[in-house]
Structure 1
Amino acid sequence: MKKFSFLVLFLTFCTGQAFSQVLEVESFSTKITELPQALLLDVRTAGEFGGGHLPKARNIDFRSEAFGQEVDKLDKSKPVLIYCLSGGRSAQAAELMRSKGFQVTELKGGYLKWTTKMMPLEGVPAVQHDAAWSLTDFEKLAKENDAVVVDFYAKWCAPCLKMMPMVDKLAGEYKGKVTVIKVEADGNQAILQAHGIDEIPSFLVFRQGKLIQKTSGFREEPKLKELFDQSIGTIQ
């Protein structure tokens, strides 16, 4: 009986190991080549996917209400290679899919890490990107000013584009009080990774060099104003 129990535990451990792979970019790329029958799954938003993705990837937004239903339609006999922007959402999605019986391999560091390695992409729109920041310059500016709001955006991101006029308006209203730093996701992977930004749009709020708020997703103007007020200490 003890031997049988040990065998069950051993097999469970081995199976879990096989189903819980998290691979670096190079190994993940090799896996794509080795498993042409696999489903390459991008679990970012449709907007993020529209800004570029791994070749032949399929998009199912992990944060959509229909994610579970869409997953249930997939073939469990096929291995799944999964990624998101930096690895957070794909890890959660992978855990859910494994609980449903899928064999899932994750891309460590996600789309950001993939692009830093200059790996192949598909569906990247032809847009003029803003000048990239150096991580050193960004950190210096964020820490040397008393009140800072950082806006992480992308030109393919509809919520980002909708908020831009509101951010600019508030930047004018708080001129001299709050420093606004705009960071385009494309070309600034080092900054996104350093601050754990795994979704666009996102905002960071610094007060006297200390990070006090991190938030993601679309915000109406009153909610955006709260970030500016937090940076100067009007609200906690």
Structure 2
Amino acid sequence: MKISPFQKDKSGRLWFVFQLLILCFITLTSSAQTGINVVSAEEFQLQLNTSSKPQLIDVRTPDEFKTSHLKNAVNYNFNAEQFKDQLAKLDKNAPVYIYCKGGGRSAAAVKQMEKLGFTQVTELKGGIMSWEQNDLPVETGNVKKGDTYLAADFNELLAAHQYLLVDFYAEWCLPCKKMEPALAKLKTQYQGDVAIERVDVDKAKDLAKTLKIEGLPAVAVYRDGVEIKRVTGYQSEKELVGLIELLKK
């Protein structure tokens, strides 16, 4: 049986299209594995488990790292002078996984890494707080500090105030520190009307886990002991006032 020139040409075109589709698939797959990504704790764990040689970086302070950290993580303190020099030791073209306590320092570190030319960086959304909230495994060191602020203390706070704004913060959190002046001002301004309190999550780890606080700062407003709204991240004075006004509606 003879094959016409048209049939030969058609077969060749089909083969070309098939090869083109394969090339596109490879390109898209490769692209999905590069760049800067912020992923959930579950996805972060999955990627770590499937990566052959992950470069896992914890950018918290050495004291925080000693308390608990992810297995095989290396501690590069974001606030240390040698941080950029430490980053230079990493392979810029290989996958890097990075995390901090709540996501603030790791996000700032990722920006530096982008400028330095890193091509594959994955950041843990919500930091190790989110990781622990999901009951994922951590390595614990010799330093273990017990909570000094308990759920009972928080419940007492809720019971004492009809209208309450709570700022969940940590001493190492730069956005938290930036919010302090506005919170102090509003605490005086709304005194006797709306209570404004702060809770250090490093002294209330169990409470933070119970309340599912996965990023800092976290600000929540409560009416008669019931949470009305919660926001995560830096809040301006105007935004804080907006949260307070929700309590009166």
TM-score, normalised via structure 1 length: 0.55
SS at match of 2:57: strand
1:28 alignment partner in structure 2? 45
2:196 alignment partner in structure 1? 180
| 1:112 shift after superposition | 1.6
2:70 alignment partner in structure 1? 54
Question: Is residue 2:149 matched to residue 1:131?
Answer: yes
SS at match of 1:216: coil
> Structure 1 residues 5 and 214, CA, compared in 2 at 3 Å: closer, same or farther?
same
1:13 alignment partner in structure 2? 28
2:7 alignment partner in structure 1? none
| 1:167 shift after superposition | 5.5
Question: Is residue 2:228 matched to residue 1:231?
Answer: no
2:55 maps to amino acid: L
Answer yes or no: is the 8 Å Cα contact 2:169–2:199 preserved in 1.
Answer: yes
Answer yes or no: is the 8 Å Cα contact 1:203–1:214 preserved in 2.
Answer: yes
For residues 122-175 of structure 1, the C-alpha deviation after alignment (integer angstroms, 9 at most, x for no partner) is: 5786545233449x969xx49x94x43211123565886898799678646644
| 1:184 shift after superposition | 3.3
> Structure 1 residues 159 and 23, CA, compared in 2 at 3 Å: closer, same or farther?
closer
Answer yes or no: is the 8 Å Cα contact 1:23–1:105 preserved in 2.
Answer: no
Runs of at least 5 residues in structure 2 that lack an aligned partner in the other structure: 1-15
In 2: Cα distance, 1:14 partner to 1:204 partner: 40
In 2: Cα distance, 1:101 partner to 1:163 partner: 32
Runs of at least 5 residues in structure 1 that lack an aligned partner in the other structure: none
Question: Is residue 2:55 matched to residue 1:42?
Answer: no
2:130 maps to amino acid: K
Answer yes or no: is the 8 Å Cα contact 2:39–2:122 preserved in 1.
Answer: yes
For residues 180-223 of structure 1, the C-alpha deviation after alignment (integer angstroms, 9 at most, x for no partner) is: 34333233134244xxx523x44345689643865428x8xxx5
1:81 alignment partner in structure 2? 97
SS at match of 1:189: helix
SS at match of 1:130: coil
| 1:53 shift after superposition | 3.7
Answer yes or no: is the 8 Å Cα contact 2:164–2:194 preserved in 1.
Answer: yes
> Structure 1 residues 72 and 162, CA, compared in 2 at 3 Å: closer, same or farther?
closer
SS at match of 2:219: strand
Q: What is the aligned residue count?
A: 215
For the pair shown, which has the larger CA radius of gyration, 1 or 2? 2
2:211 maps to amino acid: I
1:148 alignment partner in structure 2? 164
- Kindly report the root-mean-square deviation, in angstroms, between the aligned alpha carbons of the 2 structures: 5.6
Answer yes or no: is the 8 Å Cα contact 2:176–2:234 preserved in 1.
Answer: no
TM-score, normalised via structure 2 length: 0.53
SS at match of 2:199: strand
